[in-house]
Copies of this chain bind each other. A is one copy, B any other.
């Protein structure tokens, strides 16, 4: 099952000729989650061959223009191409009124819009799918702002195929092992030894580590954030400024690349993706090098960049290559 993050727009409030405002796609097992929807998002989706039809859930971090002004055009185009399935929109309070005011002008949207108003003071599950939980958590910006955490659910263990023949496993034994229970075999046809036999879960099965992605934009650094995104395989964290403009970061409620890296380090994240760059940085190498000094697994987002989170086994001793 894929778990793929694509950065579409990397600009902060003032877009530049090459950078669009915030918009991102997280693709998990056939679903595309649109995370923030800055102006131009629909053009960037088209440019990156991302189908609108797979987007049923849109997550808006906060109601600054560079994070939601692409929504109206996208909703309108979805109507135009004949969408019928409901569309869920998650955001702080206030968005519904804006969308409804504009929709009155743009003409009725025939598919259902389901607004989910986020309001929480700590990580809270806001949506759950078969394999995935989605959490919102508050950020520390100038206005009410939320981050989002996408976390695979714990999956049943898998039997290492060769072990089935080797041990002549029965269906009941397989079910028990997949549940994580060791199997105790007394003397039987299956067990020709004189001693009872124990079939150990950790020797006959493997399990994938649930993958997770956390999105943190826009925010000033704060202590609990690294706990809330602890262990994220991929952490997107805004990095509007470098250390040269640390004062401005504080004044405007933003983070430096170093602060983003510090958060990734404390969270024990797998990789850090930087984004939401100030137009003052035509060249981003400074931001990257400042982040890498603290957290070497830091990377720059750019329009159209793709970051895959591969499946990894929990027990490396029985590492098994995923599909």
Contact = CB atoms under 8 A, between A and B. Distances in A.
A313 to B, nearest CB: 38
B106 A102 contact: no
Interface string A68-104: 0110110011001100000000000010011001100
Interface stretch (A35-43, A120-128, A234-242): A35-43
Interface in A225-275: none
Nearest to A44: B17
A105 to B, nearest CB: 5
Contacts of A40: 39-40, 43
Interface in A100-115: 101-102, 105-106
A65 interface: yes
Most buried by B among A13, A43, A76, A80: A43
A72 B70 CA distance: 10
Contact of A77 (B14, B18, B80, B98): B14
Given A43-B15, A80-B13, A94 B105 contact: yes
18 contacts: A13-B76, A13-B80, A15-B43, A15-B46, A17-B43, A20-B43, A39-B40, A39-B43, A39-B69, A39-B70, A64-B106, A65-B73, A66-B73, A66-B76, A69-B69, A69-B76, A94-B105, A101-B102
Given A65-B73, A69-B76, A101-B102, 5 more contacts: A13-B80, A65-B106, A69-B72, A69-B73, A102-B102
Number of copies: 2
A17 B39 contact: no
Given A15-B42, A15-B43, A65 B72 contact: yes
Contacts of A16: 43, 46
Most buried by B among A13, A40, A65, A102: A65
A64 B69 CA distance: 15
A76 B80 contact: no
A300 interface: no
Most buried by B among A21, A46, A69: A69
B102 A47 contact: no
The list of the 9 closest CB pairs from A to B, nearest first, reads: A17-B47, A39-B73, A101-B101, A65-B76, A17-B46, A40-B40, A69-B73, A63-B105, A65-B106
A151 to B, nearest CB: 30
Contacts of A105: 63, 94, 98
Contacts of A47: 17-18
Interface string A1-43: 0000000000001111110110000000000000000011011
B13 A77 contact: yes
Nearest to A43: B15
Contacts of A15: 42-43, 46, 73, 77
A321 B63 CA distance: 54
Contacts of A43: 15-17, 20, 39-40
A62 to B, nearest CB: 10
